[in-house]
C-alpha cells in the first residue's frame, strides 16, 4: 500500500526536527515535503539548517536522515495541499493561524501549535485518553466547510498530567489538581530557547502562558463529547499550576496533588495507574508503547534523565504515590513525561495514526 504523503511545515525548528526523526521508517507515513520560512526556501534541508557560522543546527539525538538532508525546502506559503495527503505543523502559533486553515481546507493537519487548541470545534487529542472525541472533527468540517481538518495536540506540560488523571477520573473521579512543573529546556526550543547563563545553577519560576494552557487544556481533554458529537463539555476538575524551568535537557517532571471524587487507598490508586489500558483503539497504534503509564516503586523515581525515554518516550512514568492529608480524598505523586516525544512530535504522529485507525484519513 502506498504510504501517506506528508508535508511538514516548520521543518527547520527544533519541533520540526523532532517530526523528522520520529517519521523516519514510519510504516504508513512518508515525508515528501518540507516547508519553512521564505529564508530557507530553495535550499536543501541540510543547507537550511546550517547556521551563519557553518554549524549544522540539527539538535535531536537521532542522526539527520540523508534523504531528508538532500530534500529541497519550500516556503510555507508555497505548499499546495493537492500534493499531499496530510500535513504536520511545527510552526509558531502566529504562523499557524494563517497557514494551517489554508491547508485544512483540503487535507488533515496535525499540529503542535496552540493556535486552534481552544476553538470549540477542535478536539485536543491524546489517543489513549480521549479517542472518543474524534467525531468532533466532522462537526469542524461541517462548520468550516473543509475537506480536511485541524487537530492540535496539547501543550507538552498538559500531556503527562492528563494521561495520569485519565485513569483516576475514570475510576474515582477527580475534583481538583494542584501541580508544580519542573520543565526541561527543550520545551523552549532554540531561538533563542533557554539561555545557558539564565538556567545554570538556577530555576526560573515562570513560563509565560504555560499555566493557563495546562489549566484550560486539561479540562478540555478530560471533557465529554455530547451525544450528537457536536460539542465538548469540559471536565469540571479545577486545575491550578505553577510552571518552572530547570536545568534539564528533556523530560518534564510534575509534582501533582489531586483530590479524587471518592475515597481510595494508595494501593488502589497505584493499581489504577499501573493497569490502565487507555482507549482500546489506541493500544495497537504503531507508536503506542506497551503501557501508557509505568509506575515505579523506587521512591527516588521517576527522574527525568533516567525515565524520560521509557518506551521510546511515549510512556508517562509515575512514582511517589502517597496520601496527601490535606485535600479531600487527596493523593500526591510525581510524574515524568517526555516533552518532545509523547508531548510533541511523536504525540502528533500518534494522533494521525489514531485517525487513520478510525477511518478519518480518507
Catalytic annotation, residues: 156, 252
For residue 168, give the 3-state DSSP assignment. Answer: helix
Query: Binders of its own copies: how many residues, by CB under 8 A?
Result: 62
Is residue 32 at the binding interface for its own copies, with CB under 8 A as the rule?
no
Please state, in angstroms and rounded to a whole number, the distance separating the CA atoms of residues 181 and 155.
13
Tell me which residues in 73-102 interact with its own copies (CB under 8 A): none
Tell me which residues in 155-184 interact with its own copies (CB under 8 A): 176-178, 180, 182
CB of 130 to its own copies, least distance (A): 22
Q: What radius of gyration, in Å, describes the C-alpha atoms of the chain? A: 20
Single residue of 120, 195, 224, 266 touching its own copies by CB under 8 A: 195
Is residue 266 at the binding interface for its own copies, with CB under 8 A as the rule?
no
Single residue of 1, 200, 228, 267 touching its own copies by CB under 8 A: 200
CB of 292 to its own copies, least distance (A): 19
CB of 43 to its own copies, least distance (A): 17
Residues 252, 258, 264, CA angle at the centre, nearest 5°?
125
Residues across the chain: 362
CB of 45 to its own copies, least distance (A): 16
Is residue 357 at the binding interface for its own copies, with CB under 8 A as the rule?
no
Among candidates 14, 1, 29, which has minimal Cα distance to 354? Answer: 29
With contacts defined by CB under 8 A, name the span among 83-91, 135-143, 240-248, 276-284 that binds its own copies: 240-248
Burial (CB count within 10 angstroms: exposed 0-12, middle 13-18, buried 19+), residue 238: middle
Q: How many CA atoms lie within 13 A of 306 on its CB side?
A: 11
Please state, in angstroms and rounded to a whole number, the distance separating the CA atoms of residues 94 and 98.
7
* Max Cα distance, the chain (Å): 61
Among candidates 102, 96, 92, 116, which has minimal Cα distance to 14? Answer: 92
Is residue 227 at the binding interface for its own copies, with CB under 8 A as the rule?
no
Please state, in angstroms and rounded to a whole number, the distance separating the CA atoms of residues 164 and 142.
33
- In the structure grid, which three cell numbers stand for residue 41, read together? 526556501
Is residue 69 at the binding interface for its own copies, with CB under 8 A as the rule?
no
Residue 72, beta-bridge partner list: 44
Q: 190 or 262, CB closer to its own copies?
A: 190
Is residue 208 at the binding interface for its own copies, with CB under 8 A as the rule?
yes
With contacts defined by CB under 8 A, name the span among 99-107, 113-121, 237-245, 342-350 that binds its own copies: 237-245
Is residue 303 at the binding interface for its own copies, with CB under 8 A as the rule?
yes
Please state, in angstroms and rounded to a whole number, the distance separating the CA atoms of residues 326 and 89.
42
With contacts defined by CB under 8 A, name the span among 23-31, 224-232, 267-275, 318-326 that binds its own copies: 318-326
Is residue 253 at the binding interface for its own copies, with CB under 8 A as the rule?
yes
CA 70 to chain centre: 28
Please state, in angstroms and rounded to a whole number, the distance separating the CA atoms of residues 124 and 153.
6
Q: 255 or 358, CB closer to its own copies?
A: 255
- The residues of the shown chain that bind its own copies, judged by CB under 8 A, are 53-56, 59, 61, 176-178, 180, 182, 185-186, 190-206, 208, 215, 238-240, 242, 244, 246-249, 253, 255, 257, 298-306, 319-320, 324-327, 330, 332, 334
Amino acid at each position: 500500500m502506498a504510504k501517506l504523503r506528508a508535508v511538514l511545515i516548520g521543518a527547520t525548528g527544533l519541533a520540526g526536527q523532532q517530526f523528522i526523526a520520529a517519521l523516519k521508517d514510519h510504516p504508513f507515513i512518508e515525508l515528501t515535503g518540507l516547508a519553512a520560512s521564505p529564508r530557507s526556501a530553495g535550499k536543501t534541508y541540510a543547507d537550511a539548517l546550517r547556521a551563519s557560522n557553518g554549524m549544522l543546527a540539527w539538535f535531536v539525538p537521532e542522526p539527520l536522515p540523508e534523504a531528508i538532508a538532500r530534500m529541497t525546502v519550500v516556503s510555507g506559503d508555497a505548499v499546495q495541499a493537492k500534493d499531499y495527503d496530510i500535513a504536520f505543523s511545527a510552526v509558531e502559533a502566529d504562523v499557524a493561524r494563517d497557514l494551517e486553515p489554508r491547508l485544512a481546507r483540503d487535507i488533515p493537519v496535525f499540529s503542535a501549535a496552540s493556535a486552534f487548541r481552544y476553538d470549540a470545534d477542535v478536539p485536543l487529542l491524546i489517543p489513549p485518553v480521549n479517542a472518543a472525541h474524534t467525531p468532533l472533527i466532522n462537526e469542524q468540517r461541517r462548520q468550516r466547510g473543509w475537506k480536511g481538518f485541524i487537530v492540535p495536540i496539547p501543550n507538552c506540560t498538559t500531556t503527562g498530567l492528563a494521561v495520569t488523571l485519565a485513569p483516576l477520573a475514570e475510576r474515582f473521579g477527580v475534583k481538583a489538581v494542584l501541580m508544580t512543573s519542573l520543565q526541561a529546556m527543550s520545551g523552549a526550543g532554540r531561538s533563542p530557547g533557554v539561555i545557558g547563563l539564565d538556567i545554570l545553577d538556577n530555576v526560573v519560576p515562570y513560563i509565560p502562558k504555560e499555566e493557563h494552557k495546562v489549566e484550560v487544556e486539561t479540562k478540555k481533554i478530560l471533557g465529554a463529547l455530547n451525544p450528537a458529537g457536536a460539542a465538548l463539555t469540559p471536565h469540571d476538575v479545577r486545575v491550578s499550576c505553577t510552571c518552572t524551568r530547570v536545568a534539564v535537557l528533556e523530560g518534564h517532571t510534575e509534582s501533582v496533588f489531586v483530590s479524587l471524587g471518592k475515597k481510595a487507598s494508595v494501593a488502589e490508586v497505584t493499581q489504577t495507574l499501573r493497569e490502565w489500558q487507555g482507549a482500546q483503539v489506541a493500544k495497537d497504534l504503531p507508536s503506542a508503547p506497551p503501557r501508557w503509564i509505568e509506575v515505579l516503586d523506587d521512591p527516588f523515581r521517576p527522574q527525568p534523565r533516567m525515565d524520560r525515554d521509557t518506551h521510546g518516550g511515549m510512556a508517562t512514568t509515575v512514582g511517589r504515590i502517597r496520601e496527601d492529608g490535606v485535600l479531600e480524598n487527596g493523593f500526591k505523586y510525581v510524574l515524568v513525561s517526555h516533552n518532545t516525544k509523547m508531548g510533541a512530535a511523536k504525540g502528533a504522529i500518534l494522533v494521525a495514526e489514531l485517525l487513520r485507525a478510525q477511518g478519518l484519513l480518507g
